[in-house]
Amino acid sequence: HNLEDVQDVIYHSWTASIHRVKSIYRNNRTLYLQNPTTTRFNGGSGRRYYLQNAMELLAPGTFYYDNTSHILYYHQMDGEKGEPHNVIVPQLVELLNFEGDLLRSQIRYITWSGITFSHVAADFTACFKGNCEDQSANFLTTAAIHIGGAENCIFDNITVSHVGGYGIWLHQGCLNNTIKNAHVFDLGAGGVRIGTGTHGVLPDLLQVNGNTLQDSVLEYGGHVFQMGCGVLMQTAAQNTITHNHIHHFRYTGVSGGWSWGYAATSTSSNEIS
C-alpha cells in the first residue's frame, strides 16, 4: 500500500533494531533498508526479523497509520462492535523535563506526589537518522520524566503509563533523589533509567550518586524498543534499587553498570536488593 511506512524489526544477539524499508525485490527475495543495520552485535546470517506498520499486515486488534493520507486504520477484534473508539495519539516524547544549572544552581527539594503521567510518543529519531541498535535502548535521549541536575527531590506515589520509551530518567548531576511507591507500566522501552551512557570516570558535576528506587512496580515494557530494561542503571554510584516488583520485560529486569573491561569507572557501590 505505502512502502515508505513499512518498518523492518531485526533481532540481534541481545537487542533489536527498527528500520524503514527502502525497496523490496520479490523475484530474488531481497529487501533493502533506508537506514541499514551495522550488524555490530551479530554478523552471522539467519537472523530473525519481521515487518510492521503495513496495511497488508492488519489483523484483529492491530492498527496501521498511513503517513501520506494521515488516516489511522484499525482492524476490530472478533466481537467488537462498530462503535467509534476513543483514540489517543500522543504528540510529545517527554511530559516533564527539567535540568538544573550544574555550574550554578541545582534543582532541590521538590516533591511530586499523587500525579499520573500518561501517553507519551515513541521517539524514532535515532532509528531513522542512523541506527537504534544500542544495548538497553541507550540511544534514547528522552523519557516521559527526564530529570538532570536535581538533588533531594522526591517522586512519591506517581503513575507513569502508556509511554513510548523509558518512564523515568535520572540523568547527569542527579544526587540523592528518591522514587518510591511508583507504578510504571505499558512502556515502549524500560521503566526507570539512572545515570549516563558515558564510559569511564565522569567529572564531578556529572556524577549520578545516592539515588533510591524503592517499593515500586515496573511492568510490561519493551513494546517498541524490545531491549529496554526494567531498571537501567548505567554509569552511576551509591544508588539503591530495593523492594521493587519488576516483571514482563523482554530483555533484562535490572541492568547495572556500563563498562566492558577493566578501566577506571564512576560506577561503584550500588545496591540491588
Cα–Cα distance for residue pair 238/223, rounded to 1 Å? 30
Cα–Cα distance for residue pair 174/151, rounded to 1 Å? 6
Report pLDDT digits (tens) over 226-269: 999 999 999 999 999 999 999 999 999 999 999 988 999 999 99
Report pLDDT digits (tens) over 138-194: 999 999 999 999 999 999 999 999 999 999 999 999 999 999 999 999 999 999 999
Which backbone phi and psi does 236 adopt, to 5 degrees? -165, 160
Report pLDDT digits (tens) over 18-67: 999 999 998 998 889 888 777 655 656 667 889 999 999 999 989 998 98
Q: What is the pLDDT of residue 40?
A: 58
Are the CB atoms for 168 and 177 separated by under 8 Å?
Answer: no
Does this model's pTM top 0.85?
yes
